[in-house]
Structure 1
Amino acid sequence: MSLRFASLTLAAALCAASAAQAQTDYPLTIDNCGFPISFDGPPENVVAIGQAATEVLYALGVQDRMAGTSLWFNEVLPEFADADATVERLADNAPSFESVVNKRPGFVPTMFEWMVGAQGVVGTREQFADLGIPTYIMPPDCEGKDNLVGADGTRLAPFDIATLYKSIEEMAAIMDRAERGAEIVTDLKAREAAVVERAEALDLPDASAVVWFSSADMELDPYVAGRKGIPAWMLERLGLRNVIESDEEWPTVGWESIAKADPSVIVLARMDRRRFPADDYERKLEFLKSDPVTSHMSAVKQDRIVILDAEAMHASIRLIDGLETLAEGMAALKE
């Protein structure tokens, strides 16, 4: 077991006596992103659409009640490898509506509203509801956000990590694992506070960054993190200024504009999916070092480039992992 969850084992033992008090009182009804969902008991045959939702379920220890998973960006966390081996991968990217409903799921959680929503790639919430299947959108992707504007939605308010913690606690309640959910949230909050303290100790008052997720083509403008999304929250928590000012989740911005801003640090997403050429972080590195515009940026010339797993840039249990890796990379700014 990794150190990330070792503390949870001790906490679980200490809280065993009170675990019965944390059992979910069914029937349970939750207002999820303006859509009410109800459960008469712990759901079976759960199909998760999105790595973030899946790994929350693995952390809750309910893989035995899962019938499928889909939409992955990185390899599963090592501590969840055994759990993942028992759950069918319906698709590496978006699954079909039929592949999901054929599992007769009692619960379909997703990390993105564009998977299951008004313009859902997989289906709408109404389509699933008509079949008696409750769907759940993780709150970070719907609260304070308009997913009908921009390719990946537009933030109406800055990302709040409280929505991630809410996701974990609500999914835990749905699955009758409230005690476990509380332990996970407590651990993540403690790690968040610790890494912020380490970053503040670096005392970098004028440091800036840009976060490059991917590009539809290497010759096209990159998808970079907007100023109100999850990566922007990560930068702000660690005292870095995001040089991108768009409210879109992942706007495309020209390299000339980025080079003019000359960020102190460039953050690159590493992922195992290959939807676009720039999904390969090594292709990103090659581009930065060879392009006549980007090769003259200070961060490129001085090798101030941090590689983060794409899933650590999402509202997932890996988010604090990403903060910790980014804080380690920031130390190079003191050299």
Structure 2
Amino acid sequence: MAADTDYPLTLGNCGEEVRLQSPPERVVTVGQSATEILYALGQADKVVGTSVWFNPVLPRYREVNAGIERIADNDPSFEAVVNRKPDLVAVQYEWHVGPTGSVASRDQFHDLGIATYIMPADCDTKDNATGGDGTRTAAFTTQSIYKGISELATIMDAQDAGEALISDLEARESHAIARAASLDLPEDLSAVFWFSSPDATTAPYVAGRLGAPGYMMDKLGIRNVIESDEEWPTVGWETIARADPDVIVIARMERRRYPADDVAGKLEFLHNDPVAREMSAVKHGRIVEMDAHAMSATMRTIFGLETLADALSTMSFEP
């Protein structure tokens, strides 16, 4: 068994220090990643509000999640979070709670005596000061996910649960990579990950080479046709079509901020747009639907790795 957390606890987090005198009793989450990790650690009874959802909660947590207030589907207000009287705000994205946070800065919470913790997958090897979704300074690895799980487990004094969760995810990660390696895939297999688009006439948000989708492609031996270091750059369909990816992975989500959030809208575009429909992936039906949340740097990234390996096993790449 792991040792209990020794309070008061101080740990470094995304350039700041988190200080806690005791295990948090009331936690508000700003981001689905922190929410599901806390559920997985057996800490649902401490969660008093959630926000920022892309996909339905994992089935195993559906019942417990139904009893917890969803403050907002997207960005909550600072007041809505504070009104839940949290002693910890656990955050997925620094652009929600950070120097120019859309919800608040960390200092705004700290001034009220509320600790904040940002999942390190969003700041380790990443510069969020570049605007938008940030730019990766080095390739994402799942070690930042495991680091976040371990640190949240330490904060909540749930180290045994943290170690068990990490062990399970590591095993699933290794199995998915081994499965893909056994498929004898083409050496220059290529792909693009399409998250969404503001509308059908504008360039889509696609995955850069160093984020979570880049990790999946690298581990499964796939070349990303997008070479940007931005997390989610916009790239025109003409450029993507010229690269002609063998596989297109599209995000499936409940969020409806943009028209192309709807997976049906993505499929309609791919099959009917005069440029997109000529791509090999569309012509040969090599389109993979993946939870949008798996395309972010979260524990669901491992599930996305499994989704992609499973899909590849059903595809033919014969000329």
Aligned counterpart, 1:74:
55
Aligned counterpart, 2:259:
277
Q: Which amino acid aligns with 1:116?
A: V
Structure showing the higher helix proportion among its residues: 1
Q: Distance in 1 between matches of 2:317 and 2:10?
A: 51
What TM-score do the two structures reach when normalised by structure 2? Answer: 0.97
Q: Establish whether residue 201 from structure 1 lines up as the match of residue 179 from structure 2.
A: no
Q: Which amino acid aligns with 2:81?
A: V
Residue of structure 1 aligned with 2:279, choices 288, 292, 297: 297
Aligned counterpart, 2:243:
261
> RMSD over aligned Cα, in angstroms?
1.0
CA contact (8 A) 1:216 1:277 kept: yes
CA contact (8 A) 1:202 1:334 kept: no
Gaps (5+ residues) in structure 2? none
Aligned counterpart, 2:21:
40
Q: Distance in 2 between matches of 1:299 and 1:144?
A: 31
Aligned counterpart, 2:224:
242
Question: Shift in Å at residue 334 of structure 1?
Answer: 4.7
Q: Distance in 1 between matches of 2:67 and 2:21?
A: 26
Q: Which amino acid aligns with 1:228?
A: L
Range that drifts further, 279-288 or 309-318: 309-318
What TM-score do the two structures reach when normalised by structure 1? Answer: 0.93
Equivalent residue pairs, number: 316
Question: Shift in Å at residue 202 of structure 1?
Answer: 1.4
Q: Distance in 2 between matches of 1:80 and 1:234?
A: 25
Q: Which amino acid aligns with 1:114?
A: W
Aligned counterpart, 2:154:
173
Q: Which amino acid aligns with 2:229?
A: D
Q: 1:81-106 CA deviation, whole Å, 9 max, x = no partner?
A: 11101210000000000000111111
CA contact (8 A) 2:93 2:122 kept: yes
Residue of structure 1 aligned with 2:145, choices 160, 164, 181: 164
Q: Establish whether residue 30 from structure 1 lines up as the match of residue 11 from structure 2.
A: yes
Secondary structure in structure 2 of the residue aligned to 1:148: helix
Q: Distance in 2 between matches of 1:27 and 1:82?
A: 33
CA contact (8 A) 1:150 1:248 kept: no
CA contact (8 A) 1:146 1:153 kept: yes
Question: Shift in Å at residue 122 of structure 1?
Answer: 0.3
Q: Establish whether residue 127 from structure 1 lines up as the match of residue 108 from structure 2.
A: yes
Aligned counterpart, 2:212:
230
Secondary structure in structure 2 of the residue aligned to 1:151: coil
* Misfit runs of 4+, over 4 Å: none
Residue of structure 2 aligned with 1:114, choices 95, 101, 123: 95
Q: Establish whether residue 53 from structure 1 lines up as the match of residue 21 from structure 2.
A: no
Q: Which amino acid aligns with 1:107?
A: L
Sequence identity (%): 58
Q: Which amino acid aligns with 2:255?
A: R
